[in-house]
Chains A and B, each alone.
Chain A
Amino acid sequence: MRGLHKDGSAIRVMAVDDSPVTRKMIKKALEPKGFEIVGEAGNGRDAINLYNKIKPDVITMDITMPIMDGLEAALAIKKLNPQQKIIMLSAMSDQDLVAKAKSWGINYFCPKPFKPDEMADIVIKVTNS
């Protein structure tokens, strides 16, 4: 199983995306490999509230979402915990957007679409970074 820490416990992931279908795709990509999806949120505000309760190892965060977008939510979470590992997922990855995300301490910018195996590799890479 690739989605495990060295002590054998599962790498805990929170999936944030306004599309339940994309959240399902993330689960489908990660759960069979041993990762545990410990929480899901459909907008940035719910993500911050949920983060305080579950403290995942890694967050996958969509950018374009209603109520509060993913960049704003990621910035708020980084203020709460600068060490929190966050992967931004977005169909748009123009240079301005990627530069802004990096300047805010985002650990990885993953353009959509993603392949299931790539997603697992990225989560492991970010967990161990």
Chain B
Amino acid sequence: MDPNQTLAPFIRASNSVFKQMFDLEISKGQVQSEGDTFISQGFTVMVGLTGKWNGWFFLDMTQATAIKLAQIMTGEEYDTAANEEVLLAGGEVANIISGNAITDINNLQPGLNIRLSPPSIFTGEGMSMFNVRLNACSVLFQTEAGNIKINVVMKEAN
């Protein structure tokens, strides 16, 4: 699968989800080189993709942005990104973006039958994740709530 072909549904889904869920306009995605190390802004959600193609979707933002998004979703105030509801809210946003994107991919290529695994959420300053299968390019979006970065890795299952 062409990496650009893989990335496009996730870019469309990110645009649509941020607009629908948060009423946030997001900038046209800016491609950013990552190499084989993904540098976190402080709050990263990873969703596993399984099926005839498998891999991961990463949604990354600062902890302040994660708090803002959770506040919009629940109407509650939070003072730390380590709050369980902030973590779960981030997981749900990543789950919805990846679910919407995978729906597009499955509909365009019936038989791939890609499904999602539950999100894993990581928080911490200065985190970097190394993965030799990582897509060399992330896409960075600017929003009123802060910068959002996505990365998608998909390869044919062995």
Binding site for B on A (CB under 8 A): 19-22, 24-25, 28, 64, 66, 90-96, 111-113, 115
Give residues 21-46 of B contacting A (CB, 8 Å).
Answer: 21
Inter-chain contact B74/A92, CB cutoff 8 Å: no
Q: Dominant SS at the B interface?
A: helix
Inter-chain contact B98/A91, CB cutoff 8 Å: yes
Query: Across the interface, which residues of A come within 8 angstroms of B116, CB to CB?
Result: 64, 91-92
Bound-state Cα–Cα, A95 to B108, Å: 10
Query: Across the interface, which residues of B come within 8 angstroms of A94, CB to CB?
Result: 102-103, 106-107
Inter-chain contact A21/B102, CB cutoff 8 Å: no
Query: Across the interface, which residues of B come within 8 angstroms of A21, CB to CB?
Result: 70, 73-74, 85, 88-89, 92
Inter-chain contact A91/B95, CB cutoff 8 Å: yes
User: Nearest Cβ in chain B — how far from A52, in angstroms?
Assistant: 27
Task: List 6 A-B pairs, Cβ < 8 Å.
Answer: A19-B88, A21-B92, A24-B73, A95-B106, A96-B110, A113-B96
Inter-chain contact B89/A91, CB cutoff 8 Å: no
Inter-chain contact A91/B99, CB cutoff 8 Å: yes
Bound-state Cα–Cα, A39 to B15, Å: 33
Given that A21-B70, A92-B116 are contacting pairs, would A111 and B100 also be in contact in the complex, using a CB cutoff of 8 Å? yes
Inter-chain contact A22/B92, CB cutoff 8 Å: yes
